[in-house]
Amino acid sequence: MSNTFFGAIADDFTGATDLAAMLSRAGVPVTLRIGLPEGPVANETATAFEVIALKIRTVPPEDAVAEARAALRWLRARGAKRIFWKYCSTFDSTPRGNIGPVADALMSDLKIDRTVHCPAFPENGRRVFMGNLFVNDMLLSESPMKDHPLTPMRDSNLMRLLAPQIKRQTGLVTFPTVRRGAEAVRDAMATLSGHVVLDAVEDCDLATLAEALHDIPLICGGSAIAQPLPALWRNTGTIGQTATAPLPKVTGGQIVLSGSCSAMTRAQVGVYLKGAAGYRLDPLELAQGNLADARAWLKMQDPNAPKIVFATAEPKSVAAAQDRLGVARAGALVEDALAQLAIDARNMGVSRIVVAGGETSGAVTRALNVDRLTIGPEVAPGVPWCFTGNGLALALKSGNFGAETFFNDAFEMLEHGVASATG
Ligand X SMILES: Nc1ncnc2c1ncn2[C@@H]1O[C@H](COP(=O)(O)OP(=O)(O)O)[C@@H](O)[C@H]1O
Ligand Y SMILES: O=C(O)[C@@H](O)C(=O)COP(=O)(O)O
**Alpha-carbon gap, residue 400 to 382, rounded angstroms:** 11
Nearest to 200 by CA among 37, 219, 255: 219
**Alpha-carbon gap, residue 154 to 147, rounded angstroms:** 9
Q: Is 88 in the site for ligand Y (CB under 6 A)?
A: yes
Instruction: Give 174 or 317: the residue with its C-beta nearer to ligand X.
Output: 317
Q: Is 208 in the site for ligand Y (CB under 6 A)?
A: no
Binding mask 247-266 for ligand Y (x = CB under 6 A): --------------------
**Alpha-carbon gap, residue 60 to 348, rounded angstroms:** 36
Q: Is 97 in the site for ligand Y (CB under 6 A)?
A: no
Alpha carbon of 31 to those of 14, 24, 60, 209, 297: distances in Å?
A: 15, 10, 27, 25, 36
Specify whether the CB–CB gap between 383 and 399 falls below 8 A. no
Binding mask 339-368 for ligand Y (x = CB under 6 A): ------------------xx----------
**Alpha-carbon gap, residue 411 to 254, rounded angstroms:** 8
**Alpha-carbon gap, residue 218 to 316, rounded angstroms:** 40
Q: Is 89 in the site for ligand Y (CB under 6 A)?
A: yes
Q: Is 223 in the site for ligand Y (CB under 6 A)?
A: yes
The residues, ordered by sequence, that sit 6+ positions from 302 with a Cβ below 8 Å of its Cβ are: 253
Q: Is 311 in the site for ligand X (CB under 6 A)?
A: yes
**Alpha-carbon gap, residue 5 to 3, rounded angstroms:** 6
Taking CB under 6 A as the criterion, the residue among 149, 171, 228, 230 binding ligand X is 149
Binding mask 324-363 for ligand X (x = CB under 6 A): ------xx--xx---------------------xxxx---
Q: Is 260 in the site for ligand X (CB under 6 A)?
A: yes
In the list ligand X, ligand Y, none, the entry touching 261 (Cβ below 5 to 8 angstroms by class) is: ligand X
Taking CB under 6 A as the criterion, the residue among 19, 219, 256, 321 binding ligand X is 321
In the list ligand X, ligand Y, none, the entry touching 89 (Cβ below 5 to 8 angstroms by class) is: ligand Y
In the list ligand X, ligand Y, none, the entry touching 150 (Cβ below 5 to 8 angstroms by class) is: ligand X
Q: Nearest 5 degrees, angle CA 264-CA 35-CA 127?
A: 35
DSSP calls for 79-130? T--EEEEE--TT---BTTBSHHHHHHHHHHHHT-SEEEEE--BGGGTEEEET
Q: Sign of dihedral through CA atoms 354, 359, 365, 370?
A: positive
Total interface residues for ligand X by CB under 6 A: 25
Give the binding range for ligand Y (CB under 6 A) out of 12-20, 127-135, 238-246, 283-291: 12-20
**Alpha-carbon gap, residue 94 to 74, rounded angstroms:** 27
In the list ligand Y, ligand X, none, the entry touching 242 (Cβ below 5 to 8 angstroms by class) is: none
Query: Which residues 41-80 are close enough to bind ligand Y by CB under 6 A?
Result: none
Q: Is 144 in the site for ligand X (CB under 6 A)?
A: no
Query: Which residues 375-414 are close enough to bind ligand X by CB under 6 A?
Result: 398-399
DSSP calls for 325-352? H-HHHHHHHHHHHHHHHHHHHHHTTEEE
Specify whether the CB–CB gap between 202 and 122 falls below 8 A. yes
Taking CB under 6 A as the criterion, the residue among 4, 6, 7, 15 binding ligand Y is 15
Query: Which residues 380-419 are close enough to bind ligand Y by CB under 6 A?
Result: 382, 398-400
Nearest to 189 by CA among 201, 205, 204, 173: 173
Contacts with ligand X, residue ranges (CB under 6 A): 148-150, 259-262, 265, 283, 311, 313, 317-318, 321-322, 330-331, 334-335, 357-360, 398-399
Contacts with ligand Y, residue ranges (CB under 6 A): 12, 14-15, 18, 88-90, 92, 222-223, 357-358, 382, 398-400
